[in-house]
Amino acid sequence: MHRDNRTAQSERSWTTRRDAKAARVAKLEGIAHGRVIPTESIVQALEALIAPGDRVVLEGNNQKQASFLSKALAQVDPSKVNHLHMIMSSISRPEHLDIFEQGIATKIDFSYAGPQSLRIAQMLEDGKLTMGEIHTYLELYGRLFIDLIPSVALVAADKADRSGNLYTGANTEETPTLVEAAAFRDGIVIAQVNELVEELPRVDIPGSWIDFVVVADKPYQLEALFTRDPRHITEIQVLMAMMTIRGIYERHGVQSLNHGIGYNTAAIELLLPTYGESLGLKGKICKHWALNPHPTLIPAIESGWVESVHCFGGEVGMERYVAARPDVFFTGRDGSLRSNRALCQVAGQYAVDLFIGSTLQMDRDGNSSTVTSGRLAGFGGAPNMGHDPRGRRHSTPAWLNMITSDNPLERGRKLVVQMVETFQTGNCPVFVEELDAVQVGRTAHLAAAPVMIYGEDVTHVVTEEGIAYLYKASSMEERRQAIAAIAGVTPIGIQHDPRATERLRREGIIALPEDLGVRRTDAKRSLLAAKSVEELVEWSGGLYQPPLKFRSW
């Protein structure tokens, strides 16, 4: 019996993946020169390297897009390449979905589809694509190593040398993660590069992980998504930022954090050197950050507030500034930023005290969602950071400050803060009876409603009315009362009971601006350390070079 098993084993090949890869790579003989595929041969090369039914990771995240490779993939002959199972963190470009209409791809697993959220919802409804799952970034990266191991990875880099070494520089993002998943399980890795050079500034991804490089016809698409023009920050947002600094950052001693990309969190960044300074908080709060190089963080950095920033990705225009501040940012020997989305997501999940974000809708229980009806936008990374990671074991003062009982086994909590105005523009209440996500989940036949941040994870809600300290609420009913108390004249807010509100206020479960020592009349735009992009440039000593669309001069 024992012997028979061994015989069966010896007959089995253990190198089927490696052999299959070698056979495919051999087909490029006569097309590629060494590792370099000529620009004009890319479609032919993809037809040779990709087989029907392959799992293909196509790099598209919210900033950097492998746009040359995605266009090429949309041009392959569907009779040769079809039924692909696409894995993408962000569905951003029209051709990302064109390939499904052309029959090249059939199934999708993704994380975020904001720029294509209507079309993907329509295609799902019309049966033009098969949905795998919608993930957070970390879940998707994780599955690349478990049950979504890619057969092919199509990625983007700034530069390559002839050995396939890649320089991804400031926009390293998730490229190393995608490449690793394919390269070490005999997948095929193809990188588009802006240029082929003799010597790289530094090696971000070693050539032994890369099978082919191709020089793109034009540089990969890169969007400046994290630039907020301070001109658009309103005085309501200044008020909410003041409340947050006093009522949350100062009160709990928040030292490490992740900010969303809203104007309200930009307001916080711009109030640190002015309002924060006047409260004597420098060195006590907001020292370590997990976030992209936001231009609105420049005044805080220049004023000495910021000790370190680790980045998911880069930001267009911030390259020279970042390179000149290596004490603050992670930079390579060449001087430029090294970002890494997977590691920064892990940092934002496990290593920071606080996540603060915004949302389009919140229900009475504090569940929130940015999904609007008829659209399937997905999650991105916010849920990774916007929850309490229950596997956390190290302590920080802010984390411990969330403990509300004297149980000897009690542990701390991540601070998860939602910061919203009670109404969006266009008379749309943020606080609603039911999230649109519920209906969207039903329509799209999702296994679970696409909730961005679950109420049970939210510790604080900040509105222009006040702050609800949800972590202090002793029951579900009290949580609901606290949310209703600061929900203004929305359908949820008008249901609040004034007597309950007074009690919550006395018990410190909600706080109005005056309870925090914040005067509404002080909330002026003049408090912002920079009131325009020009002033950000000034703060940076001319190192920040905003893209044209943010220049008014």
Residues near other proteins (CB under 8 A) are: 94, 115-119, 122, 126, 373-374, 426-428, 436
Residue 436 CB, shortest distance to other proteins, in Å, is 7
Half-sphere exposure for 466 (CA within 13 Å, toward CB)? 25
Residue 119 CB, shortest distance to other proteins, in Å, is 5
For other proteins, the closer CB: 54 or 436: 436
532, with CB counted inside 10 A (0-12, 13-18, 19+), is: middle
CB of 546 closer than 8 Å to CB of 295: yes
Residue 97 CB, shortest distance to other proteins, in Å, is 8
DSSP assignment, residue 219? P
* Cα 231 to Cα 228, 234, 235, 522, distances in angstroms: 9, 8, 11, 18
Residue 18 CB, shortest distance to other proteins, in Å, is 40
Residue 104 CB, shortest distance to other proteins, in Å, is 17
For other proteins, the closer CB: 4 or 126: 126
Residue 115 CB, shortest distance to other proteins, in Å, is 7
Rounded Cα–Cα distance for residues 91 and 112 (Å): 6
Rounded Cα–Cα distance for residues 185 and 211 (Å): 13
For other proteins, the closer CB: 174 or 436: 436
| Residues whose CB is less than 8 angstroms from the CB of residue 309 and which lie 6 or more positions away in sequence, other chains included | 288, 289, 290, 291, 293, 297, 301, 328, 329, 330
Closest listed residue to residue 48, CA positions, set 27, 18, 33, 69: 27
Q: Is the dihedral of CA 180, 185, 190, 196 positive or negative?
A: positive
Tokens in use for 161? 């040398």
DSSP codes of every residue in 123-170: HHHTTSSEEEEE-BHHHHHHHTTTT---SEEEEEEEEE-TT--EE-GG
Rounded Cα–Cα distance for residues 311 and 296 (Å): 15
Query: How far does Cα 235 stand from its chain's mean position?
Result: 27
Residue 373 CB, shortest distance to other proteins, in Å, is 7
Intra-chain end-to-end CA distance of the chain, in Å: 83
For other proteins, the closer CB: 101 or 186: 101
DSSP assignment, residue 187? -
For other proteins, the closer CB: 373 or 552: 373
For other proteins, the closer CB: 120 or 153: 120
For other proteins, the closer CB: 278 or 424: 424
Residue 96 CB, shortest distance to other proteins, in Å, is 10
400, with CB counted inside 10 A (0-12, 13-18, 19+), is: middle
For other proteins, the closer CB: 128 or 287: 128
Rounded Cα–Cα distance for residues 224 and 211 (Å): 30
Residue 232 CB, shortest distance to other proteins, in Å, is 12
Rg of the chain over all Cα atoms, to the nearest angstrom: 25
Residue 361 CB, shortest distance to other proteins, in Å, is 11
For other proteins, the closer CB: 201 or 374: 374
Residue 423 CB, shortest distance to other proteins, in Å, is 10
Strand partners, 192: 156, 214
Residue 118 CB, shortest distance to other proteins, in Å, is 5
Helix 235-244 / helix 263-271 crossing angle, nearest 10 deg: 60
For other proteins, the closer CB: 115 or 378: 115
Tokens in use for 26? 């051999």
225, with CB counted inside 10 A (0-12, 13-18, 19+), is: middle
| Phi, psi (rounded to 5 degrees) for 330 | -80, 120
For other proteins, the closer CB: 75 or 122: 122
For other proteins, the closer CB: 89 or 244: 89
